[in-house]
Structure 1
Amino acid sequence: MKTDIFITKAEKFIKDKTLIQPGDKVVMGVSGGADSVALLLLLNSLKVKMSLSLYVVHVNHCLRPEADSEALYVEALCKERDIPFFLRKVDIKALSRELKIGTEDAGRKARYEAFEEVLTEVGATKIAVAHNCNDRAETMLFNLARGTGIKGLISIPAKRDNIIRPLLFATRAEIEEFLAAEGVKFCTDASNLTDDYARNRIRNNILLALEDSINGGATLHMFETAEQLSGLYEFALKRCEECYRDACVRETETQISMDARKILTMDEYLQSMLIKQAIDTLVPGNRDITHV
């Protein structure tokens, strides 16, 4: 994809989703892979126009022999563009054992902790990560297979709290075409080419089969569906907030009391959202609830 077309599409997506405002300080997570390198190039192209202050964080997971050279590559990209570079080195295998979680979860935890740390250090307000359209489709399928609701089918939102995803509109192929047009290389994580992880199996087999055998636009269609569901979910959330305020009788740090008679007059979906919101208020981040 030609550079000007890609950047125009990106600017429209950023504006439509209100991801970045003029004068923002943005921390970017850059691994050196195609997606994150494209993110770096994109935001750097908007730096002067939008008066942005940019910072790059690279987390070395100490999992692969090429990890050190990838860190050096990202540092060089930043140096060429006069972007402050922050390197964090974390033994992900050790962290995984310590926390008794998988290496994927440990890596994600380490990355976002590093992003937040640098965000605080430089006084930034946003963290930009490089999820793309394919990532969203893969996550949607992953969540659907495990069992999920509307929120899980939305999978990866363009914005959540201070985390933004300016490349969510673009397919992986479009991103690689953009990099080719820019003449910029990227690093390839060989572990992404294996079927060792569930997400890789979805990426390398299921999604490809859908595009090859069912519809070549399957990935984009799933993105569009997620966008529609996102709008529906936002509407439902606002309605839920109204119902919560109306039904809540008493709220403390350990207890929430609601008027059952008012709840019973609501639609079933709103009832489940209301109860889920009450649980989330008392136990933030609870991931063990399977159904309400």
Structure 2
Amino acid sequence: MSNKPFINKISGFIAEKQLLHKDGKYIVTLSGGADSVTLLYVLKYLGYDIEAAHCNFNLRGDESDRDEKFCTDLCKSEGIKLHLVHFDTKEYAALHKISIEMAARNLRYAYFEQLRKDIGADGICVAHHRDDSVETLLLNLIRGTGLHGLKGISAVNGRIIRPLLCVSRAEIECFLKTAGKTYVTDSTNLINDVVRNKIRLDIIPMLKDINPSVCDNIFKTTQIVDDALNIIDRHIDKAYRETVHNDGKGLRIDIEKLKTQISPEYTLYSILKEYGYTPAQTEQIYATTAASSSGRKFFSKTHRLLIDRNDIIIEKNDETEKKVMAMPETGTYIYNRHVKLRIEAVKRTPDFRIIPASNHIYADASKLKFPLTLRNAAPGDRFCPFGMKGSKLVSNYLTDRKKSLFDKERQLVVEDASGKIVWLVNERADNRFRITDDTGDIIVISIV
């Protein structure tokens, strides 16, 4: 094969980034375009064990069928096994209420990963090149991005491998021309009807008028940013370990420890972005911590966040619907997928022993009136904490117990027919129903 310097450049990049191994097996995603055809030829020439995969998205009529035939003929002539799949992309997009572009992306990457597992491949090689990385950086700048958006496309992302990131589109086309190799062109890439195409067809040519080396310079910048992010990410990992802990219900971020970090707000954003919070929300959240505004809540699509005294609490926003459940007699009751409650009647015998624990209580059956009710604690609820004579607001009791607003919102109580709280669930029994020397029958209420 001619154009050895081009191939050596890619081979050196593969070695430098440790992208592929000679004893590995890899899938080459083959569209039939110049980029993927070049990737196929180069990896075959370098001696890698490869199989190709082509997706027909049935979006461009005869052109889609033309691409499939080209890939079939190419792999047959080169002695490379080809895997073909057809998708009804429009139906998938309509079903999932997403764009055609996103539907095609989801379908192909899900297929590639399943195929990788099926044939025991070590990775999936895609043909993104230097210009794609430059376009991605510009696209991220236009949309608004954090630092990670400034590094362009990564050479490795999980099982996805990009061996052509070191070469430009112009170099790829020159290679194919010199080698006398053909390819097909997706006509939709030549129309500036989507943002990425506008960047490729309009913006980059304008930038090249200013500086012909603009793509080289931008790509070099992405590499510098990538190296710098390795340093930053190590710092963020250390900051995460120092400031965040999981209490079993969600994450807690220690505000005072957060403020000792080199860049507290960026550290906070690096933590919160994993839970769907935007830079603008992070800025507002951090300002709230500085103002000591305990009790403020913020929501992402998947999580809820609470400023709680010295902590920021993050939990999944999957609260079960609050409801009131009547329990007319002894038995087992399912309140929701997290809570199952059992009520048992027990005869008091001489050898009966009370075993203290937070997940159950013992109540004097003669003092308790059925039906019982399980519900969330409400404003104004009062009870008589076990061991005390007077009553206390449930909210004040929970505050004294350092419970957060989220804890208070999900706190359950068991109430009897007279409207008296029998049990602050998993917290404390009511003193009015305590076992005494005169107690006969006993009701045991427990979370199981």
TM-score, normalised by the number of residues in structure 2: 0.60
What's the counterpart of residue 278 of structure 2? 289
- Letter of the 2:152 partner, please give it: S
- Letter of the 1:276 partner, please give it: S
How far the C-alpha of 1:225 sits from its partner, in A, is: 0.4
Does 1:237 find its partner at 2:237?
no
Does 1:66 find its partner at 2:63?
yes
Distance between the aligned counterparts of 1:135 and 1:69, measured in 2?
24
Distance between the aligned counterparts of 1:127 and 1:204, measured in 2?
28
Residue number among 212, 217, 232 corresponding to 2:213 in the alignment: 217
Please give the secondary structure, in 2, of the residue aligned with 1:66. Answer: helix
How far the C-alpha of 1:247 sits from its partner, in A, is: 2.1
Does 1:261 find its partner at 2:275?
no
Distance between the aligned counterparts of 1:171 and 1:138, measured in 2?
12
What's the counterpart of residue 249 of structure 1? 245
How far the C-alpha of 1:127 sits from its partner, in A, is: 0.8
Distance between the aligned counterparts of 1:137 and 1:231, measured in 2?
17
How far the C-alpha of 1:153 sits from its partner, in A, is: 1.1
Report matched runs for 1:1-292 at 5 Å.
3-47=3-47, 52-64=48-60, 65-211=62-208, 213-250=209-246, 252=248, 254-268=249-263, 271-277=265-271, 280=274, 283=275, 286=276, 289-291=278-280, 292=282
How far the C-alpha of 1:186 sits from its partner, in A, is: 0.5
Distance between the aligned counterparts of 1:161 and 1:248, measured in 2?
26
1:244–1:274 CA contact under 8 A, matched in 2? no
Please give the secondary structure, in 2, of the residue aligned with 1:23. Answer: coil
Distance between the aligned counterparts of 1:273 and 1:12, measured in 2?
36
How far the C-alpha of 1:260 sits from its partner, in A, is: 2.0
How far the C-alpha of 1:86 sits from its partner, in A, is: 0.5
Q: What per-residue deviation string (whole Å, max 9, x for no partner) do you get for residues 34-80 of structure 1?
A: 00101111111112xxxx32111100010112111211111222122
Q: Where is the helix percentage greater, Structure 1 or Structure 2?
A: 1
How far the C-alpha of 1:22 sits from its partner, in A, is: 2.1
Please give the secondary structure, in 1, of the residue aligned with 2:242. Answer: helix
Q: What per-residue deviation string (whole Å, max 9, x for no partner) do you get for residues 223-280 of structure 1?
A: 100010001111111121122122223354x511232222111122x64245433552
- Letter of the 1:151 partner, please give it: H
Distance between the aligned counterparts of 1:145 and 1:279, measured in 2?
19
1:57–1:114 CA contact under 8 A, matched in 2? no
Please give the secondary structure, in 1, of the residue aligned with 2:201. Answer: helix
Distance between the aligned counterparts of 2:97 and 2:173, measured in 1?
36
Q: Sequence identity of aligned pairs in percent?
A: 34
Distance between the aligned counterparts of 1:289 and 1:21, measured in 2?
39
Distance between the aligned counterparts of 1:44 and 1:256, measured in 2?
48
Distance between the aligned counterparts of 1:251 and 1:71, measured in 2?
53
1:243–1:274 CA contact under 8 A, matched in 2? no
Unaligned 5+ runs, structure 2:
283-448
Q: What per-residue deviation string (whole Å, max 9, x for no partner) do you get for residues 188-226 of structure 1?
A: 011111111111011000001101x21001111111000
Moved over 6 A (4+): none
User: What's the RMSD between the two structures over aligned residues?
Assistant: 1.8
Please give the secondary structure, in 1, of the residue aligned with 2:231. Answer: helix
Distance between the aligned counterparts of 2:14 and 2:199, measured in 1?
28
